[in-house]
Amino acid sequence: MPAATASTRVEDVVAARGGDLIELSHAIHAEPELAFDEHRSCAKAQALVAERGFEITAAPGGLDTAFRADFGSGPLVIGICAEYDALPGIGHACGHNIIAASAVGTALALAEVADALGLTVALIGTPAEESGGGKALLIEAGVFDDVAAAVMLHPGPIDIAAARSLALSEVIVTYAGRESHAAVAPYLGINAADAVTVAQVAIGLLRQQMAPGQLAHGIVTEGGSATNIIPGRARLQYTMRAVNTDSLRGLEAKMRGCFAAGAVATGCEHEIAEAAPPYAELTPDSWLAEVFRDEMTKMGRTPVPAEVEAAMPLGSTDMGNVTQLLPGIHPVVGVESNGAVIHQPGFTVAAGGPSGDRAVTEGAIMLARTVVRLAEAPAERDRVLESQDRRKVVRR
């Protein structure tokens, strides 16, 4: 089948199912669910592909709100990642409803041409991207072992074909002191809240010495129960980011010193626990990204220039772990949001509006066409298949 014919067919499928895809996006948007609790959203994301005859594997890796839906039997296995978790308090301010619906649309479109192009289409429901690292857990469980390339998109205020992201780790720091009456015998207490203060001051001073691209931000999740009790327990949760994993390791070492400073200064004990699997930096496959850029242009969109993309990593995502393992892309598809950026309430509104709906259907078409072009480019098809074969050897 000529690529142009396949490209036309996938576009026709998305056009025909556009109403269903937008309805899916709105349904997920209307019932936001947090990480590892996306039971309704997970079920909604499976419904349309189940009707199409995809083979559903529930709860891969033991994750209740994950799934994998497969169609076709071709040697080129394409993973399409769907996210559907929301943010506390502000719902789908990251537009994961758009991600899920566009992924379903891409899967339905590629199912139409799977036999002709020698594809196996694998729609992978990946929970807990905002906090929890669902994709990292699914990688460890072997869910991506047979996948040759993976695609997904993310909404944002602008179009970015070769989007990048920062490496990330997140820790919970607990300080244990001793309670005492704050007026009668404060000298008998060991103030865990003071340990938090010292640690945060140390982090504030550290910022001057952070390397370009290194970031640290956190919250106090526990700091005492009453003003007349010296807090015997306090807790911080901090996220650290850097341009790559090596830089992140250096930042983590310095941050551990800041956390320890709080304990030393106050006499508290302290414990540091990993809050979630670390996220690697997102490194898009250059060929796939350039094809997607071309598809964006054909769709009438204007992605930012390539030289700008490299200087603007956007947040962090566990899709970075996937792109460190296999060829993949995570482009940003622009949504008109009246100046709001992701993780702002204004973007929640935009994600459920007309521009968000266009991102669902146009995004599905662009992703599906990108996969068609991969399947029809012998050298690139061989490249990703050979990469997958090498991973088989390493995995054994």
The structure's pTM equals 0.94
Domain ranges of the chain: 3-165+279-395, 167-274
Q: In what order do the strands lie in the sheet with 67-71?
A: 55-58, 67-71, 119-125, 76-82, 149-151, 328-329
Specify whether the CB–CB gap between 268 and 177 falls below 8 A. Answer: yes
pLDDT of 394 over the 70 cut:
no
111: pLDDT confidence band, cut at 50, 70 and 90? Answer: very high
Strands 332-334 and 154-156: parallel
pLDDT of 395 over the 80 cut:
no
* CATH code, 3-165+279-395: 3.40.630.10
Instruction: Report the C-alpha gap between 254 and 123 in whole angstroms.
Output: 40
For 172, 221, 230, 257, 303, the CA distances from 225, given in Å and listed in that order, are: 19, 12, 9, 27, 50
Q: Classify 167-274 by CATH class.
A: alpha beta
At residue 356, the 3 state secondary structure works out as: helix
pLDDT of 35 over the 50 cut:
yes
235: pLDDT confidence band, cut at 50, 70 and 90? Answer: very high
pLDDT of 3 over the 50 cut:
no
Least confident residue range of 160-164, 225-229, 282-286, 307-311: 307-311
For 274-302, how does the pLDDT look when each residue is reduced to its tens digit (9 = 90+)? 999 999 999 999 999 999 999 999 999 99
Structure tokens at 73: 């039997």
Instruction: Report the C-alpha gap between 356 and 360 in whole angstroms.
Output: 6
For 359-378, how does the pLDDT look when each residue is reduced to its tens digit (9 = 90+)? 999 999 999 999 999 999 99
Instruction: Report the C-alpha gap between 136 and 141 in whole angstroms.
Output: 9
393: pLDDT confidence band, cut at 50, 70 and 90? Answer: low
Confidence at residue 4, expressed as pLDDT on a 0 to 100 scale: 56
